Amino acid sequence: MPSTPVEISASRARHLWLAAQRLLEPASFGAGPQAVKLATEHLGYVQIDTINVIERSHHHILQTRIPDYARADLAAAQSVDKSVFEYWAHALAYIPTADYRYFAPDMRQMRDNPPASYAAINRRDYNALLRRIGEDGALSIRDIDDEVLVEKEHLWASRKPSKRLLNFGFYNGDLTISRRDGMLKAYELTDRHFGWERRPRPATPGQVADYLLNRALRSQGVVSLESICYGNLGLKAQILPLIEKAVRARRLIQVTITGAEKVPHWAEAAALESALPPVPAGLVHILSPFDPLVIQRKRLEAIFGYVHRFEAYVPAAKRVLGYFALPVLVGDEIVAALDLKTDRQAGRLLVQRWTWMVPERPDLKAAIEEALGRFQRFQLAPSLLPA
């Protein structure tokens, strides 16, 4: 085993990461609800976002890896096949149902030791809500009439007190989202939705740490402690011994990425030794700002040399890339950021700002414009437009 870390170039790190993200091979997950299941299992989670100046991020992330993706595929995976469920990763996300047990400890924590905002809920009202769902079936917040409304605590909050009860049931595992209509969620009893007589046993802390390490290796190719623990920074102390054990067993090799030498990274020995799929010459991906390749901003900058700014909440006068800028990947380089908006009434995709990260070239512009044509067809597909 090498006594010092193996040095790899940023280009090699990008190649490992792109291959792990399944961005080098078209349709590697197939099509339909089964493709949604396979993609979510491989990535670990698909982040949900409410902004819809273009198609929402969860659909966008899946379509980037499933060219024939339709929104009905995700609906079927969630509500019919039940191969994915919604819960909190580093943000609200679709998660493989096969991984439910790794999130059950957080549900138990919410049930046994809820934070102050949930500890104060009226348990009689909560139990009555569970009984109503048990008797009437899944409910959305629109199905509940609250006699007294409250002030919103933030922009996305509800004035209905029942929303807090639904959220409490969601976070403690009593309830799950059985279906969606846009951002309107239907809450169902978890056990009835999945057909469980007994829920999966919550994973131990050690099992959760092992899960996060393996998830990162599978979907990131080359990992750091920060990238493994993104959204779970409190688990660093549990994951580091697992890494050290894997290094001693020669499963993992410590690597140094040129230009990012201060941050230790690791990769599986097999990944470093194996041949990777080539980067297609015509590869162009218009990425969601919530794509797994983009969401970890420091990692993105270290490996791709690209600094992404999410400016939806930045005053217009201070924006550099635009309200909802999307990084554009060509080959293994992010060459531009496009601030896009879908004009659904006019049936076209608007480019509100085009920012080059490299010197503009006619061949690059032509390749991106061709990708924009495909992206527009995805945005305006009948199955993706709101009813």
> What pLDDT is recorded for position 281?
80
For the residues 64-70, what does the mean pLDDT come to? 95
Q: Is the predicted pLDDT of residue 158 greater than 60, yes or no? A: no
Q: Which percentage of the chain shows pLDDT scores above 70?
A: 94
Q: Is the predicted pLDDT of residue 154 greater than 60, yes or no? A: no
Spell out the domains of the chain, with CATH numbers in brackets.
1-22+204-277 (1.10.10), 110-149+157-191 (1.10.10), 284-380 (no CATH)
Tens digits of residue pLDDT in 331-385: 999 999 999 999 988 999 999 999 999 999 999 999 999 999 999 999 998 755 4
More confident residue, 116 or 100: 100
Give the 3-state secondary structure of residue 282: coil
Q: Where are the beta strands (DSSP E) in 320-382?
A: 325-330, 333-343, 348-356
Q: Is the predicted pLDDT of residue 133 greater than 50, yes or no? A: yes
Range of lowest pLDDT (180-184, 230-234, 304-308, 319-323): 180-184
Q: Is the predicted pLDDT of residue 194 greater than 90, yes or no? A: yes
Q: Is the predicted pLDDT of residue 29 greater than 80, yes or no? A: yes
For the residues 9-13, what does the mean pLDDT come to? 96
Tens digits of residue pLDDT in 289-322: 999 999 999 999 999 999 999 999 999 999 999 9
> What pLDDT is recorded for position 276?
86
Instruction: Map tokens 């090498």 to a residue.
Output: 2
pLDDT band, very low/low/confident/very high, at 155 (cuts 50, 70, 90): very low
pTM score of the predicted model: 0.93
Tokens representing 383 are: 């199955």
Burial class (CB in 10 A: 0-12, 13-18, 19+), 1: exposed
Of 314, 353, 351, 306, nearest to 332 (Cα)?
306
Instruction: Map tokens 């198609």 to a residue.
Output: 55
Instruction: Measure the CA–CA gap between 354 and 286, rounded to whole angstroms.
Output: 12
Q: Which percentage of the chain shows pLDDT scores above 90?
A: 83
